[in-house]
Amino acid sequence: EAQVTQNPRYLITVTGKKLTVTCSQNMNHEYMSWYRQDPGLGLRQIYYSMNVEVTDKGDVPEGYKVSRKEKRNFPLILESPSPNQTSLYFCASRGDRGLNNEQFFGPGTRLTVL
């Protein structure tokens, strides 16, 4: 089954404790993104990657890091989480940035930073 998976689905942590949210897709997609979803703000892009070893900032990159060492994986790293990073996070992938490629989303990770 074609899908994007994320782990963990739920995470409660404390300020300053480094964490990683994993993302993996099995569709051989080149383009992957991370979004955060907050009430009234919709989906805002954090980082994106156009291919292996190619990453770039989205609209709200502060406090986040990503890596793309393999095509299928795109982990999101919070080196020193803060309470304002409490949010619902989605990983997404699509074939490339072109017009005809549907974007697939993972199931989401709900993060709470105390």
Q: Contact residues for another protein (CB under 8 A)?
A: 4, 31, 35, 40-45, 48, 58, 90, 92, 96-99, 102-103, 105-108
C-beta of 74 vs 90, nearer to another protein: 90
Phi, psi of 51 (to 5 degrees): 180, 180
Which CB sits closer to another protein, 79 or 96? 96
Residue with Cβ nearer another protein (51 or 82): 51
Q: Long-range contacts made by residues 97-105, C-beta under 8 angstroms, separation at least 24?
A: 97/31, 97/50, 101/31, 103/33, 104/2, 104/3, 104/4, 104/25, 104/27, 104/29, 105/4
Task: Output the smallest distance, CB 16 to another protein, in A.
Answer: 28
